[in-house]
Chain A
Amino acid sequence: MLSYIVRRLLWMVLLLIVISFLTFMIFYLLPSADPAVLRAGKQPSPELIKVIREQLGLDKPWYVQYWKYLDRLAFHFDFGTSYQNQVSVKSQIFDRAPATAGLAIGGAIVWLLIGIPIGIISAVKRGKLADRLAMGGALVLISAPVYWLGLVSLYLFSKGIGVWGVFDGAGTYPNDGSNLFNSPFTVAPTLFLPWLVLAASFAAIYARFLRGNLLEVMSEDYIRTARAKGLPERTVIFRHGLRSAITPIVTILGLDLGILLGGAILTESVFNIPGIGRLAVDSIQKSDLPTIQGTVIMGAFFIILLNLLVDVLYAFLDPRVRY
């Protein structure tokens, strides 16, 4: 097990290097804005452009730039300094990570709390009205764009601009350094709508996924065995059926969380939550390569890490899995 984890971690490092390289190359090869000219103002002298280019280190050949970047990253865990405001990218990411984490983890809890019971009920009441309503609703939520859902929820339920101003709306997430983890009671209310919006489509996907899984599992031989033992149906469904049906949920949860921890761009944008996703968008708009790199690498890191965690967790969930 330990050697497996070590091996996986080494893979992770390699993958991250590849990703940083790809990001770097895409930034260089595709026609994005020239960061130096962008920062030189309206009618810059060639000298000024040159100065800024040197300042940003863009005058060196790409491989030198990349090597320097990698060197800093690997040996000092330094993502460099933002082109935009001379703030260290690492500090910006760390500053924003709690907001994204609070959004993603809270959202995940919400969608699990909604999606799992609905999935179970749908499977148990298969074909009945409850099932049809739930699955129809799920389809609507899956197809609804998060962006649209966010706006609708704001116009309906947020204080200030909503028809029924019950929840905190956009821009209420505090910027004073408090986050869900150090002051849950002040921050949670501001995240309530974002959680619902973020969770909506996931809850729908999980409900459908779980329903399908559970139905499949309930036709397994070991379910027949459980019934043949004379176990109460509740025990059959929950202890035997759900236990198997829910295990794959861990996998997709890990992947989804991994992706979201790298920034829930749309939700963050609609609700103005200062998370990594918005940092990424801002940095793209400003051709701020170090910040783009930093957010991409952090995003990739979370995806790979959560994937590893899922694999490790699987060994505990499914006794057949061994590394």
Chain B
Amino acid sequence: MKRSLRWAVMLGALIALVVGLTACGGSSSNSSSTNGSKAGEPTKVDLSAGKKGGKITFLAAADIDYADPGQTYYTFGFMVQQAINRPLYSFKPDDTTTPVPDLAAGPPEISADNKTITVKIRQGVKYAPPVNREVTTADVKYAFERSFSKNVPSGYAGTYFSSIEGTPAKPNTGDIKPISGITTPDKYTIVFKLKAPQAPLVSQALVMPITVPVPEEYAKPFDAKLPSTYDQYVAQTGPYMIQNDSKGKLVGRKPGKQITMVRNPNWDGKATGDYRPAYLDGVTIEEGNDQLEVASRRTLSGNGLMCCDAGSPPAQVLKSALTSNKDQIAFVPSGGTRYIALNTKVKPFDNLNVRKAVVAGFDKNALRQTRGGKLLGDIATGWLPPGIPGFEEAGGLTQGKQYDFDTKPTGDLALAKQYFAKAKAEGVPIGSNGLYNGPDKLLTIATNADPGKKTAEVAQNQFTKLGFKLQFRIVPQDTLYTKFCGVPSQKVAICPNVGWFKDFTDPQSMLDATFNGNNILQQGNVNWPQLDVPAINDAMKAAATTPVGTERNKAWAKINDMIIGQAPAIPWIWDKTALIASKDVKQVPNGYTTVQDLSFSSLK
């Protein structure tokens, strides 16, 4: 080869390297499209005793986001947290609506004015080595305080706990400061005083990992760093622990490669009232299995494996597994709604009748096919998905019955035209064919990865059928959220790939952030339709203080109805996740984390 040619080749390689690695961050996940007619009914959770001992390997695509309980915020991180730590409250695998006391000794006591929450914790819960001491409520207090500091940016502390008195409006800089609203009258009691009567929501949110105790004297040096390095030194209280060394460093966690969990020698479930049976002797999480098809096949035909953190197995694997190894599959509702947001601040979606016409005319079934069809989800009719309190009160699978435009899963063009006609009367440009006829090209931001990309393409089709002209752009999913749909100033008209999934099981957590006009943010906004209806905002304010129970559920179900009436988006699927395990594994899905519960699963 000539030298000049070789230089050209080398330069080409370098350019490809730079551009390839930085520009096209498109990840290809597996597409799934199946007309599976068998209902993927949520699997009944079998909590009968499992065999003690043995180890399981969990095949994961990527690393957990954080091991630090103050920072973790994603399903997979929760799954690990659920095994290595005890928050105040948590969910048994078979009941996702009622949290059970975990580190707490009993249910939270809520004052009559909804402004004080008192929690007592169990005695004798000990940290794993090297901390080894008993957990006190001071550790929970510190856990909150650190989560409000600059060094430990928590994704949700401000969202759910800013009503606690003394929480800073913006994260503390420098030292971690005490929060006046959190007090510990004794070693086993903690009291939260609230600025507003928000106790129902806050008490429900005590299942979040922010309530996992953090031993201040041990964590302080790590938390002093910016950002905190506690993530690599987490003190653990659960039945399992990520393997660590004598300094507490989590040597068992090799980012992007593997997490090794072993039994926590200081854990005594019986003595400390832990409901987790913890059958297994250890769990290894093998990361890097982003080839979902390979991972799911390995799991189905291998031994001692569970899969997957990144969504359901590809449809073809799932389909064949449903016929041959049915008992190796479990379905759990994901506890979320996927929808196509219509920006109510952008023409023509600022017109209610246009939005109603769109919702009426959309073929949601076609959208659902892009995610695996009936097997992997029900058609969404509202924003309170199965498994969330208020789901039944809102009408179950057929929410918003009173609105004709919300009831046709395959779309109703005639009905859409009726609403377009009403919009025409209000000055919206409607053509002679009865469809939208505006000149504007509507900015649509879709994800570049399947199956979301396919969904967006189907949506694009549907919009075009209704007469809309789109300026269709595809970007990576993260870019979609952080640079476009989450930034109101971008004036994105249509976001076909948004969805909201539960943090904990409270109806408020499903609707408040996403549809309350007071929650529109200039960055990281999640009220994607930018719905701002005073009646709804006020109703939410009132319902927030309603005590946990049927009343509360009814109140939020009513708000759900009001939102549906505004047609701010097209809800189209309440998805289910298919979990798979090897033949010799008895997998127990946890309805809260929507993945397997490592403390309940066992070897057969």
Q: What is A's interface to B at a CB cutoff of 8 Å?
A: 15, 19, 22-23, 26-27, 30-34, 37-52, 54-55, 82, 84-87, 92, 95, 151, 154-155, 160-161, 169-171, 175, 248, 251-252, 255, 258-259, 262, 269-270, 272-274, 278-282, 284-287, 292, 295-296, 299-300, 303-304, 307, 310-311
Contact = CB atoms under 8 A, between A and B. Distances in A.
B291 A285 contact: no
12 contacts: A37-B524, A43-B524, A48-B153, A48-B171, A54-B150, A85-B63, A160-B298, A161-B301, A259-B13, A272-B294, A284-B21, A300-B14
B118 to A, nearest CB: 27
Contacts of A154: 294
Given A55-B226, A281-B27, A46 B521 contact: yes
Nearest to B291: A270
Given A51-B170, A84-B255, A175-B258, A255 B288 contact: no
A187 to B, nearest CB: 14
B482 A34 contact: yes
A37 B482 contact: yes
Contacts of B519: 43
Interface of B: 1, 3, 6-7, 9-10, 13-14, 17-19, 21-23, 25, 27, 59, 62-63, 66, 73, 150, 153-156, 158-159, 169-171, 173, 226-227, 229, 231-232, 254-258, 286-291, 293-295, 297-298, 301-302, 475-476, 478-479, 481-484, 486, 503, 513, 519, 521-524, 526
A303 B291 contact: no
Contacts of B478: 32-33, 38, 285-287
Please provide the 5 A-B residue pairs with the shortest distance between their CB atoms, ordered closest to farther: A41-B155, A47-B170, A33-B478, A37-B482, A34-B482
Given A32-B478, A45-B170, 5 more contacts: A19-B14, A41-B154, A43-B519, A155-B297, A269-B288
Contacts of B169: 47
A300 B17 contact: yes
Nearest to A295: B21
A23 B301 contact: no
A26 B302 CA distance: 43
A45 B162 CA distance: 11
Contacts of A33: 476, 478-479, 481-483
Contacts of B159: 41-43
A299 B27 contact: no
Instruction: Give the residue among A23, A155, A295 with the most B Cβ atoms within 10 A.
Output: A23
B509 to A, nearest CB: 10
Given A55-B150, A55-B153, A49 B14 contact: no
B252 to A, nearest CB: 10
A86 B523 CA distance: 24
A46 B479 contact: no
Contact of A45 (B59, B158, B287): B158
A161 B302 contact: yes
B172 to A, nearest CB: 9
Contacts of A171: 59, 286, 288-289, 295, 298
A55 B227 contact: yes
B81 to A, nearest CB: 15
A175 B302 contact: no
B68 to A, nearest CB: 10
B483 A42 contact: no
Instruction: Give the residue among B3, B22, B73, B519 with the most A Cβ atoms within 10 A.
Output: B22
A300 B18 contact: yes
A280 B27 CA distance: 12
Contacts of B171: 47-48, 51
A170 B255 contact: no
Contacts of A49: 523-524
B524 to A, nearest CB: 4
A37 B155 CA distance: 10
Contacts of A34: 482-483, 523
Nearest to A147: B291
Contacts of A295: 21
Instruction: Give the residue among B7, B289, B298 with the most A Cβ atoms within 10 A.
Output: B298
Nearest to A170: B294
Contact of A269 (B287, B290, B475): B290
A206 B281 CA distance: 50
B419 to A, nearest CB: 31
Contact of B73 (A31, A42, A311): A42
A276 to B, nearest CB: 11
A85 B153 contact: no
B298 A170 contact: yes
B481 A41 contact: no
B599 to A, nearest CB: 23
Contacts of A38: 478, 481-482
B257 A175 contact: yes
A295 B258 CA distance: 20
Instruction: Give the residue among A30, A95, A311 with the most B Cβ atoms within 10 A.
Output: A30
A41 B294 contact: no
A30 B17 contact: no
A270 B294 contact: yes
A303 B27 CA distance: 25
A90 to B, nearest CB: 13
Contact of A86 (B19, B229, B481, B524): B229
Contacts of B290: 269, 281
A252 B6 CA distance: 8
A154 to B, nearest CB: 6
A285 B59 CA distance: 19
A272 B227 contact: no
Contacts of B170: 45, 47-48, 50-51
A85 B13 contact: no
A32 B19 CA distance: 13
Contact of A31 (B226, B293, B483): B483
Contacts of A269: 288, 290-291
A87 B523 contact: no
B237 to A, nearest CB: 22
Given A171-B286, A269-B290, A296-B17, A303 B483 contact: no
Nearest to A34: B482
B492 to A, nearest CB: 12
A291 to B, nearest CB: 10
Contacts of B153: 39-41, 48, 51-52, 55
A259 B257 CA distance: 23
B1 A251 contact: yes
Contacts of B486: 37
A8 B488 CA distance: 51
B524 A44 contact: yes
Contacts of B295: 170-171
B18 A22 contact: yes
A37 B481 contact: yes
